[in-house]
Structure formats: structure tokens, C-alpha cells
């Protein structure tokens, strides 16, 4: 197996609206879509679409969404042996609003995702130990994430940690145990408490994280590309200009593509460049997984 994604799945309920409603306001949305999402599942699907062999470890509820979520992952060739149902709880659900400027606001109701536990990592150890890369996000319990990082470290498996959605409780000692720490600007701001309004401010905030001992920090910057910091090196990677219609899941497209590229090439710079192109393409389509392409996007 190439990649183990240990993380979330959600059912995305997406409303396309002209502008975000104000407090107390009722607005009519012009369109609605329901799709399979969740940061973990999105990243797994992106990597699988690009040809990686992906094992997903996740939890669904025992409701009407569960079977469809598992079938959807399997339809992309993702190994779902470690995606199982939790009795008596709902699956993860994410109501999302996307406005005319392709910006989104996301609410997550984690449901079964909260039931992915450290002991589940131990139970799957025989399969996880064969993976070349572990990919994590923050929609499952922090204890499980910490345990997965320790598992990766003790088995010599590199770890990518995408601190999304941002959680100020995240123990950065664990971020330093990861090979790649990949926040976006908002997550960088929440994790550091520093402003990120300009590239200078972003660099300053990024440097404070690096000073804690991160190995590789990759800050995704949306239409401005990405910043990679490693030791004393700092490299900006630009993004291609595209017509964005829905930016939801673009960060996950980046992570999935980065993971697939890194596992197959071991090249950090190339993997970042490919991930930017792949994520940029994803914002030209609506939805999360539905907006992801295959290798032809990178040609
Ligand atoms: O990153 C986008 C994802 O965030 C959505 O698919 C939604 O489910 C939330 O997890």
C-alpha cells in the first residue's frame, strides 16, 4: 500500500448562494448539491485518482449515509477494510455555503468521526505498517492523531499532517514529529496567533512555527500558490491563473496530490508544484471530490 489516510469522512450538503446570510437573515440558495466529502476522504480520493494505492481508516455512523460513503470510497479503488460503522451515532455531516466569489463557509458535525480511536490504529497495525506514507488531518480526535504520528515514527513511515480545520489545542510537539506540516493561511493564523494579511506576515508567522522545530512546513496560499520552509531555506511556488467557481476541498486536493507525488517520486519541490496545479484545477469545478481530476490534469 502506498498511502494510509487516517481521518474523516462527511456527507457534504452544499448550498450555492449569492452572498453569505447575515445574522437572523433567511436567504434562498440558487442551487444545492449533496456529495461525499470530509477532509480525510477527499485526500484519499484525490491520491487514488492519481494512481496511488490508498488505504483509508475512518468511521461512519449506522445511518442512511454509511453504506454510500463506503461504496463511494471503494468506487475510487480506496481500500475500505478499515472503514467501519459505529452503532448508535450519525455519520459525519458538513453543511457548506459557497458564495458567488467561490468562497465557502463550512460547519462540520463529526458524528462517527469522533469514534476513530488510538486503539483502532493498533488494531490495524499489520496493514498500516506496510504503508509508505501516513496522511492525517484534524477532523478526528487529537489522541488518535498523536498515536498515528507515534506509530509512523516507530515504523519509519513518513507522516503528513494537515492541521485542518485549525485547532489551537494541537500540541506542536507532535507537528514536529511529522515530516510535513501543511496548514493554509487561516490555520497558520490560528496556530500562531499572528496576522497573515501580507506575505511578509505569513513568513513571520511561518518562521515562528519553524522555530519550534518543524521538519518541513508547507503553507498553502490559495491563488498565490504555496510557501515551503525547510531549515533555513524558503521557497515560494506560484499557482496558475484559473477561473474559480468553488474552492471547497482545494486544500484536500493539494494534500492528496502531494502525497501521491511524494510517495512515487520522493521529490518535495516537484510534489508541491504538482499539488498546486491539481488543487488549482479543482476550484474550477463544483463540489469537493466531484471537482477532482485524474492524471490528465497534471499533463
Ligand atoms: O475541506 C473540505 C471538506 O471540509 C468538506 O468536504 C467538508 O466535509 C469538510 O470536511
Query: What is the tens place of the pLDDT at every residue in 101-113?
Result: 888 899 999 999 9
Give this prediction's pTM: 0.97
Cα 184 to middle of ligand 1, angstroms: 14
Would you call 62 a catalytic residue per the annotation? no
16 lies in some domain: no
Q: Per the structure, how many domains does the chain have? A: 1
pLDDT of 71 higher than 90 = yes
Residue 58 near ligand 1, beta carbon < 6 Å: no
CA 141 to the chain's CA centroid:
15
Q: For the chain, how big is the Rg over CA atoms in Å?
A: 18
Atom number, ligand 1, closest to the C-alpha of residue 8 = 10
pLDDT of 152 higher than 90 = yes
Nearest protein Cα to ligand 1, atom 1: 249
Which helix or strand (DSSP H or E) is residue 160 part of?
Answer: strand 159-161
| Mean pLDDT for all residues in the chain | 96
DSSP designation for 51? T
Domain of residue 263: give its range.
Answer: 3-9+38-93+112-298
98 lies in some domain: no
Out of 122, 150, 252, 294, pick the active-site residue. 252
105-134 average pLDDT score: 97
22 lies in some domain: no
Q: Does residue 290 contact residue 34 with C-beta atoms inside 8 Å?
A: no
Query: What is the tens place of the pLDDT at every residue in 272-296?
Result: 999 999 999 999 999 999 999 999 9
99 lies in some domain: no
Please state which of the ranges 18-27, 32-41, 70-79, 174-183 shows the lowest mean pLDDT.
18-27
Cα 257 to middle of ligand 1, angstroms: 16
274 lies in some domain: yes
Cα 12 to middle of ligand 1, angstroms: 7
Which helix or strand (DSSP H or E) is residue 174 part of?
Answer: helix 172-175
Q: In a mutational test of the pocket of ligand 1, which residue from 11, 109, 248, 287 has the highest number of ligand atoms less than 8 Å from its CB?
A: 248
104 lies in some domain: no
Which among 154, 159, 167, 112 has a CA at the least distance from the CA of 136?
159
CA distance 214 to 180: 8
Residue 108 near ligand 1, beta carbon < 6 Å: yes
Strand partners, 55: 4, 79
pLDDT of residue 59: 98
Residue 110 near ligand 1, beta carbon < 6 Å: no
pLDDT band at 1 (very low <50, low <70, confident <90, very high): confident
49 lies in some domain: yes
18 lies in some domain: no
CATH number at residue 127: 3.40.1190.20
Amino acid at each position: 500500500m502506498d498511502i494510509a489516510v487516517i481521518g474523516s469522512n462527511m456527507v457534504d450538503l452544499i448550498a450555492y448562494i449569492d452572498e453569505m446570510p447575515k445574522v437572523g437573515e433567511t436567504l434562498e440558495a440558487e442551487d444545492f448539491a449533496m456529495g461525499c466529502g470530509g477532509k480525510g476522504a477527499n485526500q484519499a480520493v484525490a491520491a487514488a485518482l492519481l494512481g496511488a494505492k490508498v488505504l483509508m481508516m475512518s468511521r461512519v455512523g449506522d445511518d442512511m449515509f454509511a453504506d454510500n460513503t463506503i461504496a463511494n470510497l471503494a468506487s475510487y479503488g480506496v481500500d475500505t477494510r478499515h472503514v467501519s460503522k459505529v452503532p448508535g451515532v450519525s455519520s459525519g455531516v458538513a453543511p457548506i455555503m459557497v458564495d458567488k466569489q467561490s468562497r465557502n463557509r463550512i460547519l462540520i458535525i463529526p458524528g462517527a468521526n469522533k469514534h476513530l480511536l488510538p486503539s483502532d490504529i493498533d488494531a490495524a497495525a499489520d496493514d498500516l505498517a506496510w504503508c509508505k506514507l501516513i496522511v492525517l488531518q484534524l477532523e478526528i480526535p487529537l489522541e488518535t492523531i498523536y498515536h498515528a504520528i507515534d506509530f509512523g515514527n516507530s515504523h519509519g513511515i513518513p507522516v503528513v499532517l494537515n492541521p485542518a480545520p485549525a485547532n489551537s489545542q494541537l500540541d506542536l510537539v507532535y507537528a514536529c514529529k511529522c515530516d510535513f506540516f501543511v496548514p493554509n493561511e487561516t490555520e497558520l493564523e490560528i496556530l500562531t496567533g499572528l496576522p497573515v494579511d501580507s506575505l511578509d506576515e505569513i513568513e513571520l508567522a511561518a518562521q515562528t512555527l519553524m522555530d519550534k522545530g518543524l521538519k518541513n512546513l508547507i503553507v498553502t496560499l490559495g491563488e498565490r500558490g504555496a510557501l515551503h520552509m525547510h531549515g533555513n531555506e524558503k521557497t515560494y511556488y506560484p499557482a496558475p491563473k484559473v477561473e474559480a467557481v468553488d474552492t471547497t476541498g482545494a486544500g484536500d486536493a493539494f494534500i492528496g496530490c502531494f502525497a501521491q507525488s511524494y510517495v512515487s517520486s520522493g521529490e518535495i519541490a516537484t510534489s508541491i508544484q504538482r499539488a498546486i496545479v491539481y488543487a488549482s484545477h479543482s476550484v474550477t469545478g463544483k463540489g469537493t471530490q466531484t471537482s477532482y481530476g485524474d492524471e490528465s490534469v497534471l499533463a
